[in-house]
């Protein structure tokens, strides 16, 4: 019996693959009926200074937050890898502090425990996926990010750890279904990064354990789904709380824009809880005089006092999805104020995320250029990752390679499947 697994630790969702039989892999059922699980942890307060606080994970973590239980929700933990935040301590509620790296380790420990229960054996070796770049244009911080993730994995009991680029893992998953040799451009666009790899795949290459020579180029940018959500929230929700608004005219001078720092923090998952600190609340309360429309300040204070930041971020994410699939989105903000609402149309959604889309499309083109290839030489573009649900973005990438076949992988599972295939080869 093998003692290895593969972990796709994602910004928005995660998955674990185990070897099955002599030539296959299977995904672990991390939650009842689900093989992928939101990358989310909820620390329950429970009114005491417990050394080992009770935590909920995945959908249970989100449900605990939505149900209004006392505690703190943490999401998108992967986004802080490579930043100074990873070693810092943050408030976990109930007078407890927890380091961000320990939040990541706790989540990995939970994944490992669930996989060991399903597999019926201890797991001490793991292949872990990683983006092409944790941090853009900073090799030192990028290397540090992988080192921190490896340290977290070792702290929960993994003794041997290999890393594989997530788009290359997706290429291995795609290769299971091809019948002729191809040059495939993998577009893995998730919650935190957009990664690309131009890879040679084919039946004759499938059995090779070493595939380094088949990776023609890889590239990526630290821009993806959570950046889209942030833009949507700033454009459609936070203006109702004063973002972009003006203050009163003082002594006949032109009015000044309301300070925006609080709004950027509210729209960034891993910074939301910082706005609830008593000192921050006192600071925002004193800013009332900066608002010409006092309703905006009242709504902002309601969000801060009721701790609605994560709910608004979730509303922005859902609006992005609804606009992409239905053409428009209705955003119910009655939690903030009775009858308050906003809308996001398809055209507006495209305008809001235009800058991010341009960077992602440029990264796809740069990957092919780095390989010394032409757009016409790409046989297929393989799309995976949660943000490939945005059809306009997929269309723009595909249009850059007009002769290539467009292939849609499993948005949430193909990377985990490919990592499992790679783990079977290197450990099996």
DSSP annotation string for 30-92:
-BTTBS-EESEEEEE-TTS--SS--EEETHHHHHHHHTT-SEEEEE-GGGGTTSGGGGSEEEE
Taking the C-alpha atoms of residue 416 and residue 397, their distance in angstroms, rounded to an integer, is 23
By the 10 Å C-beta count (0-12 exposed, 13-18 middle, 19+ buried), 21 is classed as exposed
Residue 293 pairs in a beta bridge with none
Q: Quick check: 374 pLDDT over 50? A: yes
Locate tokens 């927890």: which residue? 98
End-to-end CA distance of the chain: give it in Å, rounded. Answer: 10
pLDDT tens, residue by residue, 139-153: 999 999 999 999 999
Taking the C-alpha atoms of residue 203 and residue 360, their distance in angstroms, rounded to an integer, is 30
Question: Do the domains 4-165+417-427 and 180-224+354-408 sit in the same CATH topology, yes or no?
Answer: yes
Q: Quick check: 319 pLDDT over 50? A: yes
Q: Quick check: 119 pLDDT over 60? A: yes
The confidence band for 332, taking pLDDT boundaries of 50, 70 and 90, is: very high
The confidence band for 397, taking pLDDT boundaries of 50, 70 and 90, is: very high
The confidence band for 1, taking pLDDT boundaries of 50, 70 and 90, is: low
- Sequence-ordered list of residues with C-beta below 8 angstroms from that of 282, at least 6 positions apart, any chain: none
pLDDT score, position 48: 47
* CATH code linked to domain 4-165+417-427: 3.30.420.40
Report the share of the chain in percent with pLDDT over 90.
64
Asked if 278 and 307 count as a contact pair (C-beta separation under 8 A), the reply is no
Q: Where are the domains of the chain?
A: 4-165+417-427, 180-224+354-408, 226-349
pLDDT tens, residue by residue, 20-61: 877 689 999 999 999 999 999 999 886 544 455 689 999 999
Q: What's the token pair of residue 395?
A: 């269309």
Q: In what helix (H) or strand (E) does residue 383 lie, and over which residues does it extend?
A: strand 380-384
Strand 341-345 versus strand 160-165 pairing type: unpaired
Report the share of the chain in percent with pLDDT over 70.
97
> Max alpha carbon distance in the chain (Å)?
79
Q: Quick check: 208 pLDDT over 80? A: no
Q: Locate the DSSP E strands across 107-250.
A: 125-130, 160-165, 182-189, 194-201, 215-221
pLDDT score, position 325: 78
pLDDT score, position 364: 97
> What does 135-178 look like in DSSP terms, one character per residue?
STT-HHHHHHHHHHHHHHHHHTT--EEEEEEHHHHHHHHHHTT-
12-16, 208-212, 340-344: least confidently modelled range? 208-212
Asked if 138 and 388 count as a contact pair (C-beta separation under 8 A), the reply is no
Taking the C-alpha atoms of residue 337 and residue 79, their distance in angstroms, rounded to an integer, is 31
- Determine the Cα angle at 250 with ends 244 and 251, to 5°: 150
Q: Quick check: 382 pLDDT over 70? A: yes
Across the range 335-342, mean pLDDT stands at 96
| Whether the model pTM is above 0.85 | no
**Cα–Cα distances in angstroms (integers) from residue 376 to residues 76, 229, 360, in the given order:** 37, 33, 19
Q: Quick check: 95 pLDDT over 80? A: no
Q: Nearest CA to 379 among 360, 359, 400, 401?
A: 401
Across the range 164-176, mean pLDDT stands at 89
pLDDT score, position 40: 94
Q: Quick check: 224 pLDDT over 50? A: yes
Topology of the domain covering 180-224+354-408: Nucleotidyltransferase; domain 5 (3.30.420)
**Per-chain mean pLDDT for the chain:** 91
112-126, 211-225, 275-289: least confidently modelled range? 211-225
């Amino acid at each position: 019996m093998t003692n290895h697994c593969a972990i796709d630790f994602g910004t928005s969702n995660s998955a674990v693959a185990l070897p099955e039989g002599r030539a296959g892999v299977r995904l672990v059922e991390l939650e009842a009926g689900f093989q992928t699980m939101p990358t989310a942890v909820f620390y329950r307060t429970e009114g005491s200074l417990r050394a080992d606080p009770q935590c909920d994970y995945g959908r249970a973590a989100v449900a605990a937050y939505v149900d209004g239980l006392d505690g703190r929700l943490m999401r998108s933990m992967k986004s802080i890898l490579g930043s100074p935040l990873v070693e810092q301590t943050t408030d976990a509620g109930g007078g407890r502090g927890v380091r961000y790296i320990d939040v990541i380790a706790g989540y990995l420990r939970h994944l490992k425990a669930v996989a060991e229960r399903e597999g019926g054996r201890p797991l001490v070796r793991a292949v872990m996926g990683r983006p092409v770049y944790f941090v853009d244009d900073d090799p030192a911080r990028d290397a540090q990010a992988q080192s921190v993730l490896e340290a977290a994995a070792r702290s929960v009991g993994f003794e041997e750890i290999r890393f594989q680029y997530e788009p290359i893992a997706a290429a291995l998953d795609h290769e299971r279904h091809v019948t002729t040799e191809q040059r495939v451009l993998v577009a893995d666009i998730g919650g935190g990064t957009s990664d690309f790899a131009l890879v040679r795949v084919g039946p004759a290459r499938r059995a090779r354990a070493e595939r380094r020579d088949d990776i023609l180029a890889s590239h990526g940018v630290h821009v993806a789904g959570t950046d889209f959500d942030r833009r949507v929230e700033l454009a459609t929700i936070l203006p109702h709380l004063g973002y972009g608004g003006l203050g009163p005219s003082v002594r006949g001078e032109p009015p000044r824009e309301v300070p925006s720092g609080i709004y950027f923090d509210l729209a960034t998952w891993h910074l939301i809880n910082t706005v609830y600190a008593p000192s921050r609340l006192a600071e925002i309360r004193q800013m009332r005089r900066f608002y010409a429309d006092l309703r905006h300040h009242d709504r902002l204070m309601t969000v801060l006092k009721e701790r609605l930041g994560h709910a608004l971020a979730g509303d922005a994410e859902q609006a992005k999805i609804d606009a992409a699939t239905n053409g428009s989105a209705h955003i119910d903000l009655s939690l903030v104020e009775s009858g308050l609402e906003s809308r996001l149309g398809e055209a507006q959604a495209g305008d809001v995320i235009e800058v991010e889309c341009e960077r992602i499309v440029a990264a796809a083109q740069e990957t092919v250029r780095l390989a010394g290839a032409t757009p016409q030489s790409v046989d297929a573009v393989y799309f995976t990752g949660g943000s490939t649900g945005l059809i306009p973005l997929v269309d723009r990438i595909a249009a850059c390679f007009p002769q290539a076949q467009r292939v849609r992988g499993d948005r949430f599972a193909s990377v985990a499947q490919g990592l499992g295939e790679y783990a079977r080869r290197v450990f099996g």
